[in-house]
Amino acid sequence: MKYIQIFIVISLLITNISNSETTETNKPLIFNEAKILLKETAKQYKNTLIEGLQHNDLKKALKYCNKEVEKLISKDNEKDYTIKRVSLRPRNKNNYPTLYEKEILEKFNKLSLEDNKYLALEHTEIIKDENNNNKFVYAKAIRIKEVCLNCHGSNINNDLKKEIQKLYPDDRAINYKLNDIRGAFVMYRNIKD
């Protein structure tokens, strides 16, 4: 009888330990999954943008940083993740950050000034959402590359500039320089405790 009790206690202990281990090991797994997913999305986004620019019609290319990217992003939303693009100086006002995202962007900007202009900046965290559920967050800074200056730099083609102002009268996404932080991709996923 005594042995059985000891056995039960030990079994319970083991189950508890392995349970907590599962949740712990899941976290790095989610981090990794999110990183890979974002890498793929960002690569597709850059390729689509370059493809658009190769048509040599910048007005046409405008939609590649716009609707085409939206399509890529919403496709990935099916995998339990929400992916947003946010910026402290957005072109589209729907891309203003929340207060929480603003802090991440400000941290990225600060680190970028202190360190160097090439550092890949990331932020990972588990936060509580409004319903007290755990939410996994992964944010990655988006830097300005040469190709981006066509539409986010300080020397934008006049026709294109007019087109941008027509579509986005409140545009704040100009005068960026190479390697500046343009904004960030922010991914969210609900996770169990």
139 lines the binding site for ligand HEC (CB under 6 A):
no
Kindly tell me which of 30 and 104 has the beta carbon lying closer to ligand HEC.
104
Among 58, 73, 186, 187, binds ligand HEC (CB under 6 A): 58
Q: Quote the least distance from Cβ 164 to ligand HEC, whole Å.
A: 6
Beta bridge partners of 191: 134
Q: How many residues bind ligand HEC (CB under 6 A)?
A: 25
Binding window for ligand HEC (CB under 6 A); candidates: 26-34, 46-54, 109-117, 126-134: 46-54
48 lies in the binding site for ligand HEC (CB under 6 A): no
65 lies in the site for ligand HEC, by CB under 6 A: yes
How far is 7 from 16, CA to CA, in rounded Å?
Answer: 14
* List 30, 61, 181, 186, residue binding ligand HEC (CB under 6 A): 61
> How far apart, in whole angstroms, are the C-alpha atoms of residue 171 and residue 93?
8
34-50 as b/e, with b when 16 or more CB fall inside 10 Å?
Answer: beebbeebbebbeebbe
CA dist 73 and 143 (Å) reads: 18
152 forms part of the interface with ligand HEC (CB under 6 A): yes
Tell whether residue 85 is a contact of ligand HEC (CB under 6 A). yes
Strands of the 82-86 sheet, one edge to the other: 82-86, 181-191, 134-143, 122-128
Q: How far apart are the first and last CA of the chain?
A: 36
* Other Cβ atoms closer than 10 A to 138: 22
Q: Are 144 and 180 in contact (CB under 8 A)?
A: yes
Site membership for ligand HEC, residue 97 (CB under 6 A): no
Q: Locate tokens 């390729």: which residue?
A: 47
- Touching ligand HEC, residues 4-23 (CB under 6 A): none
Which residues here bind ligand HEC, judged by CB under 6 A?
46, 49, 53, 58, 61-62, 65-66, 85, 87, 90-92, 95, 142, 144-145, 147-148, 150-152, 173, 182-183
